[in-house]
Amino acid sequence: MPSLPKTDETFTTMDQKSRKLLERKQNIAQQRKALPIASVEKRLVEEVKNNDVLIIVGETGSGKTTQLPQFLFNAGLCHDGKVIGITQPRRVAAVSVAKRVAEECGVELGQRVGYSIRFDDVTSNLTRIKYMTDGLLLREALLDPFLSKYCVIIVDEAHERTVHTDVLLGLLKTVQSARSQYVNKELDHEKRSLYKSGNSDRENRLKACQGTKLPPLKLIIMSASLDASVFSKYLGGAKAVHVQGRQYPVDVLYTYHAEPDYLDAALITIFQVHLEEGPGDILVFLTGQEEIEFVERRIKERANQLPEENRKLVIVPIYSSLPSERQMKVFKPAPLGFRKVILATNIAETSVTIPGIKFVIDPGLVKARSYNPVTGVESLIIIPTSKAQALQRSGRAGREGTGKCFRLYPESEFAKLVDSTVPEIKRCNLSNVVLQLKALGIDDILGFDFMEKPSRMAIVRSLEQLFLLGALTEDYKLSDPVGYQMSRLPLDPIYSKALILAGEYQCVEEMLIVVAMLSVESIFYIPNDKLDEARAARKCFSSPEGDHITMINVYRASKEVMEKIQVTNSQDKAAEKSINKWCRDNFINKRSLKHARDIHSQILGHIQQMGLSVTSCGDDMLQFRRCLAASFFLNVALKQPDGTYRAMASAQIVRVHPSSVLFRTKPECIIFNELVRTNQIYVRNLTRIEPLWLPELAPQGAGVLVAERWSGVEQGGDDYTDVKGPNEYGSSISGWPSRSSS
């Protein structure tokens, strides 16, 4: 007999469920109607129809990112199955907005609305509105020079001026004109095949597509705060329209004195607001995952010391490498009577709009890339925000009513901030960009139509580096197959090369683990109150040879645990619990580990596609270390008599970071993967190597380069520009794996 629902309760719950769903739908519809952009829908659609390039400027939260693509779709701009592509500088924004828009449209994510970011593609051939990172669209252009899938491309958050946005704009200009110039014009067959088989030069490649039926490409540039005239000028006098936003007054408060410990100051302020102010959520701007996790733990500790009724806090972190299922938590309202504390990087400045915020706490700092083209050294540094960023941050408190912003620095400091951020292209290592442009068939990098040209020296350095890595030939053409293979891997060149080299050293499996582990923020965490326990736990994985092998040990151990769980237990929830427990017991950051595992499996896919076999050196770590030396010869440092190190390529004096397993042993010669600049310069992620390996393993010419750089430094020819600016999308260091974008 078929089983029937046994009690009325079943019916009630189902009713409640569908009622809730209906309520949510109505709610969303209401919210959408109330957005400032809703009242100008018709006008915007007309403007897009009438202009091939359009600039849209509108206050954060006015509805640009979520609504405009839907307006265009509804107006029928996606004919012939073409796609509206929206690029974001940050992964989190691409994912969270796509989820929201799918819900608004009432469709399943990955169907009509989807997203695609590096290591995660949720689209199908039904997708018509596609959110993605700007870096990913650049990669797509490698395979499809006309971007023929798209009818509209929206470059969002253009004011961020990430290196990918800048390069993308230059590329889109040529694609747009090529599409109107060559496409839809017949060309005889013979010529087409000639173009196809011949020269790899971009012009010829584009010409080879003549006769393809493609609609013109519409290009839309969107931003919160943007000097539209700069973009308009660059884009041939493009029209700019402004969407009026809504902003309530925000009371801005400063500290009396400079705060020696801004994290502690942030903590004190969080509790001051929580205990003394009325309802409303708090948004705290921090510089990265490590800081966010540290503050999260400290809030929990302090809250636990409060009386029960004062503990009603919900803490939600948001940063770019946060796994996507956790990202959405930030949008969930706190339960009744609770206050939400959002710990965010600069991602919450303009990329994502979180409802319910009434208080902003702003230490006034941001993590940024900084690059010295003379030494070729890129590092991540924490620097003051620009004025524009400070204003954006305080604005977050006034979206739904009046708010308060606590700037954790004295008012006199505000006046000293720079007005706006230096574009990233002026302060990063360009090897990745140059390799991509070369792979796109753009050979004349110095002549490329950049919105703002990077320094000549920075370009030359990156050409040099790519040559040393074997990606370019002596006449600076993309080498075959190494250069092509490197450009296909979604990693910074030095890492792509390491993986390719690992094939020769029979240690692809080990290098793959290392590249994945280096792509995430720290795998270990050391809570203040359990220092000794954490250190003891780490010892179990430590390798006397250095941090890379230590990472391999952690990864292998976690894999073993996973495999055991899978054998004895098929239930996902229980498996997750066990691995979480293992992480806790071993002081391993479970989010970072999961992220590393995801990245590992994605790169593995690419490697297999390339036909590289996944060899392992097993326990022969000598072989693996030799491979590290051959891969990272640009990052060799030698010990000095005083215990500091000299980085060979830059001649800089560096110190071993306290987090390294080699902090105490200090071997004679090391290779490193990361430079961290605080008041000192530290190197992180190190492995001991033999200096005698270098002449044999490093390519010829590396020595000459080192010598040149020495002389460059001595002549003081340093045109290093100091940087101010956002960097969350790709907190990566010269040639290290990109941490988040694309």
Binding site for ligand ADP (CB under 6 A): 35, 58, 60-67, 96-97, 99-100, 331, 353, 355
Token code pair at residue 330: 């930030």
Work out whether 324 is an interface residue with Mg ion (CB under 5 A): no
Work out whether 65 is an interface residue with Mg ion (CB under 5 A): yes
Q: How many CA atoms lie within 13 A of 732 on its CB side?
A: 28
> Whole-number minimum distance, CB 65 to Mg ion, in Å?
3
Nearer to Mg ion by Cβ, of 94 and 360: the residue is: 94
- From Mg ion, ligand ADP, none, interface partner of 368 (C-beta below 5 to 8 A by class): none
Nearer to Mg ion by Cβ, of 352 and 502: the residue is: 352
Q: How many CA atoms lie within 13 A of 37 on its CB side?
A: 25
Choices 62-70, 108-116, 123-131, 671-679 (CB under 5 A): range interacting with Mg ion: 62-70
Residues in 651-680 at the binding interface with Mg ion, rule: CB under 5 A = none
Nearer to Mg ion by Cβ, of 89 and 735: the residue is: 89
Contacts of 404 (CB under 8 A, 6+ apart): 250, 251, 252, 253, 273, 277, 358, 359, 360, 397
Contact 169, 451 (CB under 8 A): yes
Nearer to ligand ADP by Cβ, of 329 and 666: the residue is: 329
Q: According to the 3-state scheme, what is the secondary structure of 298-365?
A: HHHHHHHCCCHHHCCEEEEEECCCCCHHHHHHHHCCCCCCCEEEEEECCHHHHCCCCCCEEEEEECCE
> Whole-number minimum distance, CB 134 to ligand ADP, in Å?
15
Contact 309, 303 (CB under 8 A): no
Give the span between the Cα atoms of 685 and 683, in whole angstroms.
Answer: 7
Nearer to ligand ADP by Cβ, of 54 and 596: the residue is: 54
Work out whether 88 is an interface residue with Mg ion (CB under 5 A): no
> Whole-number minimum distance, CB 99 to ligand ADP, in Å?
6
- SS3 category, 12: helix
Nearer to ligand ADP by Cβ, of 97 and 451: the residue is: 97
What single-letter DSSP state applies at residue 489?
S
- From Mg ion, ligand ADP, none, interface partner of 61 (C-beta below 5 to 8 A by class): ligand ADP
Contact 316, 343 (CB under 8 A): yes
> Whole-number minimum distance, CB 58 to ligand ADP, in Å?
5
CA distances from 739 to 63, 99, 289, 515 (A): 28, 22, 11, 11
The residue number with the shortest CB distance to Mg ion is 65
Nearer to ligand ADP by Cβ, of 96 and 687: the residue is: 96
> Whole-number minimum distance, CB 451 to Mg ion, in Å?
20
Residues near Mg ion (CB under 5 A), total = 1
Nearer to Mg ion by Cβ, of 342 and 348: the residue is: 348
Partners of residue 107 on adjacent β-strands: none
- From ligand ADP, Mg ion, none, interface partner of 353 (C-beta below 5 to 8 A by class): ligand ADP
Contact 694, 636 (CB under 8 A): yes
Nearer to Mg ion by Cβ, of 94 and 507: the residue is: 94
CA distances from 592 to 27, 518, 596, 737 (A): 35, 10, 6, 14
- From Mg ion, ligand ADP, none, interface partner of 317 (C-beta below 5 to 8 A by class): none
Give the span between the Cα atoms of 365 and 438, in whole angstroms.
Answer: 35
Contacts of 2 (CB under 8 A, 6+ apart): none
> Whole-number minimum distance, CB 347 to Mg ion, in Å?
11
> Whole-number minimum distance, CB 279 to ligand ADP, in Å?
18
| Cα Dmax for the chain | 91
> Whole-number minimum distance, CB 640 to ligand ADP, in Å?
51
Nearer to ligand ADP by Cβ, of 95 and 425: the residue is: 95
Contacts of 130 (CB under 8 A, 6+ apart): 83, 84, 85, 86, 98, 113, 114, 115, 116, 123
- From ligand ADP, Mg ion, none, interface partner of 114 (C-beta below 5 to 8 A by class): none
> Whole-number minimum distance, CB 243 to ligand ADP, in Å?
8
Choices 61-69, 265-273, 291-299, 493-501 (CB under 5 A): range interacting with Mg ion: 61-69
- From ligand ADP, Mg ion, none, interface partner of 595 (C-beta below 5 to 8 A by class): none
Provide the pairing of β-strand 636-639 with 645-647.
antiparallel
Contacts of 195 (CB under 8 A, 6+ apart): 204, 205, 207, 208
Contact 630, 698 (CB under 8 A): yes
> Whole-number minimum distance, CB 64 to Mg ion, in Å?
5
Q: According to the 3-state scheme, what is the secondary structure of 359-396?
A: EEEECCEEEEEEEECCCCEEEEEEEECCHHHHHHHHHH
Choices 60-68, 208-216, 360-368, 549-557 (CB under 5 A): range interacting with Mg ion: 60-68
> Whole-number minimum distance, CB 92 to ligand ADP, in Å?
11
Nearer to Mg ion by Cβ, of 101 and 151: the residue is: 101
Using CB under 5 A as the criterion, which residues of the chain lie in contact with Mg ion when the complex forms?
A: 65
